[in-house]
Structure 1
Amino acid sequence: MKPVYLDYAATTPTDERVVSAMLPYFTQHFGNPSSLYSFGRGARQAVRRARWQLAALLNAEPEEMFFTSGGSESDNWIIRSLAAEALEKNGGGHIITSKIEHHAVLHACESLPQGIEVTYVDVDEEGRLHLEDIEKAVRPDTFLVSIMTANNEVGTIEPIAQIGAFCREGGIFFHTDAVQAVGHIPMDVKKLQVDALSLSGHKLYGPKGIGALYLRRGKKILPLIAGGAQERGLRAGTENTPGIVGLGKAAELAAAEMISETARLTALREQLIEGILKIPGAHLNGPREKRLPGNVSFGLEGIDHETLLIRLDLMGFAVSAGSACSAGSLEPSHVLTAMGQSAEQANTSIRVTMGRFTDKEEVEAFLQAVKTAALSMRGQA
């Protein structure tokens, strides 16, 4: 049996249709989009078309989309820019985020200069944040709330629309890291009432090294890179035309196929959960329903996840213990411990994430492999 990839939350393979759309912009249409002659105009039109494609996926306006290198850059741009503005105008201020955010948000907040205070809000045992906890955390100097749309480890989908409505009413800037959600669940920035949203191309079958920041019309942030006038003067540097084209095509495909793909992946997710929970000592991390379609995070009592991952890899299955950005860390998952698990419990958990090219037979084979590995590790084989 060929190796089975089940770590789509870490990265997705670039869809061949995306690659085909990108290829001409490496060689045939290689012009600089800022150039005035025909080579540049062709590239500029491609960038404009991709901006429209991406905006359509989010129900945004094209001029509200800014291309970046990925989700981490977009997260840092918003947090650092708004913090710098708060320091300049008011001498400091207050940010609210959650304890289960991606490290791009957590580490950006931790690195802010003196004068900026951060409150890290708790989540419940399923990884869900509750609006009342944000309401309690708000202070007169709160200038930013940043909450992820869906958790990258356990797949929990957060109540973004509720938080957005609260922040809009209170005049607080609201940002969501939607890297795991965009292209996989419906995202309408108007209904969600977000002021900014981060996304990354390689999480929705686009290329690596390209992402975007949605910034609601009328909202101001500081430029990220000084230099040219690209991205309306906010992010200088020659545009990554092939990457931008790929992201636009990936967004177009996601919009067209999301309904059918969500149904298919949800069925596979339920098949996998049912099978896992039949294994003695197994438990599901996160909610049974309000989670990403292809995400299953589970623990097996008494079984170290690192050893299990190695065994599964030798058996031909690629899965992870959690975020790819934390691979190699000796610390237990900050997400699972925030959900109330002990370090020992957290270190029994693995994450399985399915995607566009996962099929039922692969799920069945994986279930058999997990059962075999668990029995062997418990000395019952």
Structure 2
Amino acid sequence: MRKIYLDNAATTPIHEEVIDEMADCMKKTFGNPSSTHVFGREAKAKMELSRKKIAEALQVSPAEIVFTSCGTESNNLIIRSSVDHLGVKRIITSNLEHKCVKETSLEMGECRNVEVVKVKTDVNGSVDLEDLEKILKSSDQKTLVTLMHANNEIGNLLDVKKVQTLCEENAALFHTDTVQTLGHYPMDLSELKVDFASCSAHKIHGPKGIGFAYIKKSTRLRPQITGGGQERGLRSGTENVYGVVGLAKAFEMAIQDLDKHKTHIESLKKYTIDQLKATIPGVEFNGLSADLEKSLYTVLNIRLPFKDALIGFELELKGIAVSQGSACSSGAAKVSAVIESILTPEQIETTTPIRVSFSCYNTKEDIDALVGVLKNISEKHLVPH
């Protein structure tokens, strides 16, 4: 049975070229980057070249790229240090953020006496920018706004430029979780002028266990992990050299092939929408995920017009991997917090959401197989008995 992977928002298969680059580094560059002898200097050179390549692609200084273990660590570093070291007394976020942002913000409220304010979102899961402006103007407390660039479940895109302008006008710091968008969209961080952003290599066909935080130098953020003073003092610990090399290669390939991959994946997404509409009566799409202009082109959140708690398992029996929420909560019996926030109780009780997320490795044949299985499942539920 052919296996079909359609859960690329959770993680992506690693490019062969990335594996080769990492394997070569493992074989030849084993030194500790903090060592001053030739072995250490070779490892340090590999890391700094990787940092430079990423910084150049984002139009920022290499000193503003801090390697971490993943997007979750990057987001934790930014939020916690903003409170502990930059004097942030208020965090503005939303109910639709990734758990690492939502839970860390709530912990700052509980443990650091920080005010946590949730900006309104509409029925499609989009941030209400008028409400954001109103909240920003309601207090002169030092504020951090943390809103994701693209929702990992429903794909809604945030108008980052508009949010940054509002933050600048109100002297607030702005952090955006860009884990789902860096490497998928051209991004000039010097033009966007955000204060903080985050990236995870495994979302762009790189290895797990490595990512980076973009930290604007002027913010003077301080570390959460202390010790040896690595990463310019912002993240102590012996660096994951081959992981960094893999991240840089994956990022380089993502930027190099961005237009080609975007065109291919957008066509797959449109094809999926058209085929589902033609095949399953009453199918709908959650959030703005069916709007190619306003959503992440790699994500489509489908709302099937029947209740089937085992649909993920049924698809897996046919060799097809999708998600019924975000990867972090895919084992939960209930729907995700994001879906709960945008659907009515009746919709939750009578429909089934699944997230399909695409990569450059997917084909129309994959989509035909998915739609065929969903058609068979839907017929069992929708045909009158």
TM-score (norm 1): 0.95
CA distance in 1, matches of 2:38, 2:96: 48
Of the structure 1 ranges 231-240 and 50-59, higher mean CA displacement relative to structure 2 is found in: 50-59
Q: Kindly provide the amino acid, as one letter, of the partner of residue 263 in structure 1.
A: T
Distance 1:344 1:286, change over 3 A: closer
The question of whether the paired residues in 1 share the 8 Å contact of 2:184 and 2:255 is answered with no
Q: CA deviation at 1:365?
A: 1.6
Distance 1:169 1:199, change over 3 A: same
Match in the other structure for 1:362: 366
**Structure 2 gaps, min length 5:** none
Match in the other structure for 1:126: 124
Q: CA deviation at 1:187?
A: 1.9
Match in the other structure for 1:104: 100
CA distance in 2, matches of 1:343, 1:220: 48
- Pair 1:349-2:353 in alignment: yes
- Pair 1:283-2:284 in alignment: yes
Q: Kindly provide the amino acid, as one letter, of the partner of residue 333 in structure 2.
A: L
* Secondary structure of the corresponding residue to residue 27 of structure 2: coil
CA distance in 1, matches of 2:345, 2:206: 36
The structure 1 segments of at least 4 consecutive aligned residues displaced by more than 6 Å after TM superposition are: none
CA distance in 2, matches of 1:324, 1:53: 30
Q: Kindly provide the amino acid, as one letter, of the partner of residue 168 in structure 2.
A: R
CA distance in 2, matches of 1:26, 1:75: 28
Percent of aligned positions that are identical: 39
CA distance in 1, matches of 2:260, 2:131: 35
Match in the other structure for 1:63: 63
* Deviation readout 1:256-285 (Å, 9 max, x if unpaired): 000111111101000001112231121111
The question of whether the paired residues in 2 share the 8 Å contact of 1:184 and 1:254 is answered with yes
- Pair 1:33-2:36 in alignment: no
Q: Kindly provide the amino acid, as one letter, of the partner of residue 135 in structure 2.
A: A
Structure 2 counterparts to residues 180-259 of structure 1, below 5 A = 180-259=180-259
Structure 2 counterparts to residues 49-88 of structure 1, below 5 A = 49-85=49-85
The question of whether the paired residues in 1 share the 8 Å contact of 2:68 and 2:210 is answered with yes
Of the structure 1 ranges 127-136 and 192-201, higher mean CA displacement relative to structure 2 is found in: 127-136
Which residue among 292, 298, 319 is the counterpart of 1:316?
319
CA distance in 1, matches of 2:324, 2:220: 38
Q: CA deviation at 1:53?
A: 1.9
Q: How many residues align?
A: 376
* Deviation readout 1:48-73 (Å, 9 max, x if unpaired): 11101222332222111000000000
* Secondary structure of the corresponding residue to residue 24 of structure 2: helix
Distance 1:105 1:343, change over 3 A: farther
Of the structure 1 ranges 212-221 and 65-74, higher mean CA displacement relative to structure 2 is found in: 212-221
CA distance in 2, matches of 1:372, 1:225: 52
- Pair 1:3-2:7 in alignment: no
Distance 1:204 1:40, change over 3 A: same
The question of whether the paired residues in 1 share the 8 Å contact of 2:80 and 2:224 is answered with no
CA RMSD, Structure 1 to Structure 2 (Å): 1.7
Of the structure 1 ranges 101-110 and 122-131, higher mean CA displacement relative to structure 2 is found in: 122-131
* Deviation readout 1:107-129 (Å, 9 max, x if unpaired): 10111114201011121222211
The question of whether the paired residues in 2 share the 8 Å contact of 1:301 and 1:345 is answered with no
CA distance in 1, matches of 2:346, 2:10: 22
The question of whether the paired residues in 1 share the 8 Å contact of 2:119 and 2:128 is answered with no
CA distance in 2, matches of 1:331, 1:231: 40
Q: Kindly provide the amino acid, as one letter, of the partner of residue 131 in structure 2.
A: D
Of the structure 1 ranges 254-263 and 276-285, higher mean CA displacement relative to structure 2 is found in: 276-285
Q: Kindly provide the amino acid, as one letter, of the partner of residue 137 in structure 1.
A: I
TM-score (norm 2): 0.94
Match in the other structure for 2:156: 156
Q: CA deviation at 1:340?
A: 4.0
